[in-house]
Amino acid sequence: MKLILFAVSLLFLVVGEGTADRLLPKRTKRELASPLHVGGIRDPFGSYCQRRGGCCPGRDDLCTVPYLDTICYCDLFCNRTISDCCPDFWGHCLGVEPPFIGKNRYIMFFTGQTYKENCNLCTCGKSGRWECEQSACLMEPDMIQAVNRGNYGWKAANYSQFYGMTLDEGIRYRLGTQRPSRTIMNMNEIQMNMDPQNDRLPPYFNSAEKWPGKIHEPLDQGNCAASWAFSTAAVASDRISIQSMGHMTPQLSPQNLISCDTRNQGGCAGGRIDGAWWYLRRRGVVTEDCYPFQPPQQTPAEVGRCMMQSRSVGRGKRQATQRCPNSHNYHNDIYQSTPPYRLSTNEKEIMKEIKDNGPVQAIMEVHEDFFVYKSGIYKHTDVSFTKPPQYRKHGTHSVRITGWGEERNFDGTSKKYWIAANSWGKNWGENGYFRIARGENECEIEAFVIGAWGRITMEDIWLGHPQNPQNP
């Protein structure tokens, strides 16, 4: 027993000797904090501790300043050779020259230490140099600057939700509509008899203004490549709300499609809109509130078990056989659509359809510069044309077109545009929407446009659905 006590006190003695810090659990995190670096450093001579408003006399783990994608310290504890001090720690806090090691670096690194520069991992190599991956990033500062300096008619921004992703990851995880097969692409277009007298199309039209309260706000698909489900659910939601004259205004659940419409579909790894419409018509889906979206945590391909089935109750109608996955919601009504129809690629016919019946779904090719779109009338630019091929990529996406307009240029000509809703959240673009050049099939947005009606009976209209707050 005595022996044990002795051993313990010896341990304390050792601890007391100054290695105490090393054994304190709260230290661990700091010791492992990503190292600061010299190679690729943007501002090694910046005022960090100074801007922080001072230094801390002892050890203070909160005495930090953001530094690149990590933090640096302004407490005296960081005064070590292998250091997490801010670059101006020595000068500002100690009033001395930084301890230079080697030729022109004041911090020593271990081989194998890493940091992330935007989407690329940099590793301290054997030679003592930082070696960085060379992928094209989704948010390339050069591209953003070039768009904003140029006269392209739209402005770019750096989105924090995209920062640190590669362009390939953006295309893999943020889009998610397979190009329709040749058979589908050759689907007959509906005949529309435009009457030039009665079908005067206004220069500006916005569904959200014609049908207030019936056009649903853009959702955020996160890192789930399921625009096939998001755009279909969004168009069907608007159409049902418009057609029922607001008696039902369901926001239909993309997750219901992602998890349950699995035949020839890839969930969050991409899917087909014809399959999505087939499901909406034959099986139907519940609302977003009943079956909420769950962005994938680990692998974007994970789909989640289907938690909603329906059965026929006659006259083509269906009823859910399960409760809502969201246990706080008891309204598991199933909404269905009629078969979708293809519109012509003629701008005027697409416009008439939107004005008469509501938003339509469109396929579009998304290029590298679309991710940084902030405002204005988008057109694919040439800013990446001189860069290596890995900087120029595109993938197929689908969106919801809700209106159109025209903007006058100084020279009297005008720029025509579509108003469309994306599914990248409301902080992207113009409140989740974007405008894109109209009448020139920009990014193939006019190449494959789809409309559909909700399946609504007079009964639905008179009784309403329980979702509708006016019909509790």
Ligand X SMILES: *[C@@H]1O[C@H](CO)[C@@H](O)[C@H](O)[C@H]1NC(C)=O
Q: Which of residues 276-315 bind ligand X (CB under 6 A)?
A: none
Q: Which of residues 179-218 bind ligand X (CB under 6 A)?
A: none
Phi, psi of 7 (to 5 degrees): -60, -40
> Considering the complex, what minimum distance in angstroms separates the CB of residue 35 from ligand X?
18
Q: Which of 247, 326, 422, 465 is catalytic?
A: 422
Residue 82 touches ligand X, criterion: CB under 6 A: no
Burial class of residue 296 in the structure, from the number of CB atoms within 10 Å of its CB (0-12 exposed, 13-18 middle, 19+ buried) = buried
- State which residue, 17 or 97, has the beta carbon closest to ligand X: 97
Residue 108 touches ligand X, criterion: CB under 6 A: no
| Angle ∠(53,59,64) on CA atoms, nearest 5 | 40
- State which residue, 154 or 448, has the beta carbon closest to ligand X: 154
| Angle ∠(279,282,288) on CA atoms, nearest 5 | 50
Task: Find where tokens 């094209």 sit.
Answer: 136
Residue 163 touches ligand X, criterion: CB under 6 A: yes
Please select the residue that binds ligand X; options are 15, 33, 76, 201, rule is CB under 6 A.
76
Residue 54 touches ligand X, criterion: CB under 6 A: no
Query: What is the total count of residues that contact ligand X (CB under 6 A)?
Result: 8
Q: Which residue is nearest to ligand X (CB)?
A: 160
Please select the residue that binds ligand X; options are 50, 79, 114, 206, rule is CB under 6 A.
79
Please select the residue that binds ligand X; options are 94, 101, 190, 463, rule is CB under 6 A.
94
Q: Annotated catalytic, 118?
A: no
- State which residue, 76 or 187, has the beta carbon closest to ligand X: 76
The residue range among 156-164, 200-208, 298-306, 412-420 that interacts with ligand X, by the rule CB under 6 A, is 156-164
Residue 160 touches ligand X, criterion: CB under 6 A: yes
Q: Which two tokens stand for residue 61?
A: 């783990």
The residue range among 108-116, 155-163, 243-251, 320-328 that interacts with ligand X, by the rule CB under 6 A, is 155-163
CB 422 within 8 A of CB 361: no
Residue 100 touches ligand X, criterion: CB under 6 A: no
Q: Annotated catalytic, 422?
A: yes
Residue 141 touches ligand X, criterion: CB under 6 A: yes
Distance, in Å, from the CA atom of 421 to the CA atom of 219, rounded to the nearest integer, reads: 9
Q: Which of 397, 409, 427, 471 is catalytic?
A: 397
Query: Do the strands 449-451 and 373-378 form a parallel or antiparallel pair, or are they unpaired?
Result: unpaired
Q: Which residues bind ligand X (CB under 6 A)?
A: 76, 79, 94, 139, 141, 158, 160, 163
Catalytic residues: 397, 422
